[in-house]
Structure 1
Amino acid sequence: MIDHFGYARGDEVLLCLARCLSSFINHSEEFIGHIGGDDFILLLDANNGPHKLEQMLEDFRAKCRRFFRAEDLQAGFFSGEDREGKPQQFPLLTLSIGVVRMHANNGCRLDSDDLANLASQAKHQAKAEPGYSLHIIDTLALSA
């Protein structure tokens, strides 16, 4: 998308995503951070987390429509040239959310490397699903 629309447009998309994510969190009890690129971290209340994440997906889907022309939205893709200058059809922007759901005192002991690996797995699983996606790895299942 950056090659077609430029870095400034990519920055607009990231800012739109950050605002969208931020609008759903309780800033006194939850946390949002930008890791880098298009990766963010959220620390949410586990009781409301999955519901909030579904709402975030829907909100971002609605808000990011403005980044495309009406004909692109109708077609479900946009046309441009790939890096070799060949005409190509590119999928529209989507959002994939990978989650590691933690539980207090569930017996699952994770160090920072374990947590980072689980987060990476959740992200890759979410990205493997087409379109807007949410994949949750629940640590309760790991402690069994």
Structure 2
Amino acid sequence: SMPDLILLDLMMPKIDGFEVCRQLRADFQTNQIPIIMLTAKSDLPDRIKGLQGGANDYLVKPYSNEELLLRVYNVLEWSQNQKNANPLTGFAGNKAIEKELARRIERSEPFAFLYIDIDNFKAYNDYYGYQKGDESILFLADIITEAVNSLGGRGDFVGHIGGDDFVIVTSLERAEFIGRHIIDEFDKGSLILMHEEDIRKGYLEIRNRLGEIKRVPLMSLTIALVLNDGERLKHFAQVSDIASELKKFGKGMTGSVVVRERRKEISEPAEIDSL
């Protein structure tokens, strides 16, 4: 089996580390394995040459075991995140999302979880084609990035579950502002993704499998907002279950909406607010 990481010494008999690194990156079986170069050379040109050749990190001898372990840990974590990232947006994928929620719950950290979903996306995708569908997903990804950068806080997390589903983990006090901002920007900007005639009509005419023409509303957003005070939720699956319940409620409403629950305890019946 292939290694998870390669520690590559620059100075080796018969062949140098630069050439080994080049060969590893040229082979499809090894070109995704992270590489940390070890060298006694601290010259900047050598470090640049190694990084340009495909090394992920550089460690100059002599080094402590603590530094080596930290660099190995960081590179492995980066590599794992890259493997799990969504290929379209580059955002963290499902495993990273679960890990982030589990970490915050384990530490009893208060947090807000926003589950963002495009309403009527399948109809839009069928009507305009997959390329336009991808454009709409990337458009929403850009809005989310801008919203978190401008309104979020240090340590906020953004993930892409897949398709048109995104998540944000942020602070309790920032969540509603972020959600409202995303909706405002999407509702204004998404019009450029549609034909003027469709905008004027306010719906898309979609032919179903029976050959019947159905009128489907234009794209909008449903954002499910789950609030955790640090004590109420005990497992990341609870967050997902509550978000799914809220999303289902929100999709029954007209237009873009942020929905959140009002109950204090999981055992209580669900009470839902639309914001």
TM over 0.5: yes
Matches within 5 A, 1:45-64: 45-64=171-190
Deviations 1:41-70 (A, max 9, x none): 101221121022111101011111011122
**TM-score (normalised: structure 1):** 0.87
> Counterpart amino acid of 2:254?
P
**1:142 match:** 265
**1:126 match:** 250
**2:134 match:** 11
For residue 131 of structure 1, give the secondary structure of its aligned residue in structure 2.
Answer: coil
Structure 2 residue runs without a partner (length 5+) = 1-123, 269-275
- Provide the aligned length of Structure 1 versus Structure 2: 141
Deviations 1:109-141 (A, max 9, x none): 4212222211111211221211111111256x2
CA distance 1:135–1:115, shift in 2 (3 Å): same
Matches within 5 A, 1:29-48: 29-48=155-174
- Report the alpha carbon displacement of residue 12 of structure 1 after superposing the two structures with TM: 0.7
1:78 aligns with 2:201: no
Q: Percent identity?
A: 25
Equivalent pair of 1:30/1:43 in contact (CA under 8 Å): yes
- Report the alpha carbon displacement of residue 3 of structure 1 after superposing the two structures with TM: 1.6
State the distance in 2 between where 1:128 and 1:14 align: 22
**Structure number with larger C-alpha Rg:** 2
Query: Which gives a bigger RCO, structure 1 or 2 (Cα 8 Å, sep 6+)?
Result: 1
> Counterpart amino acid of 1:41?
V
For residue 244 of structure 2, give the secondary structure of its aligned residue in structure 1.
Answer: helix
> Counterpart amino acid of 1:92?
L
**2:48 match:** none
CA distance 1:111–1:96, shift in 2 (3 Å): same
Equivalent pair of 1:79/1:90 in contact (CA under 8 Å): yes
Structure 1 residue runs without a partner (length 5+) = none
State the distance in 1 between where 2:250 and 2:128 align: 25
**TM-score (normalised: structure 2):** 0.48
> Counterpart amino acid of 1:86?
E
Equivalent pair of 1:101/1:138 in contact (CA under 8 Å): no
CA distance 1:55–1:10, shift in 2 (3 Å): same
Moved over 3 A (4+): none
State the distance in 2 between where 1:80 and 1:126 align: 23
Query: Greater shift after overlay, 16-25 or 77-86?
Result: 77-86
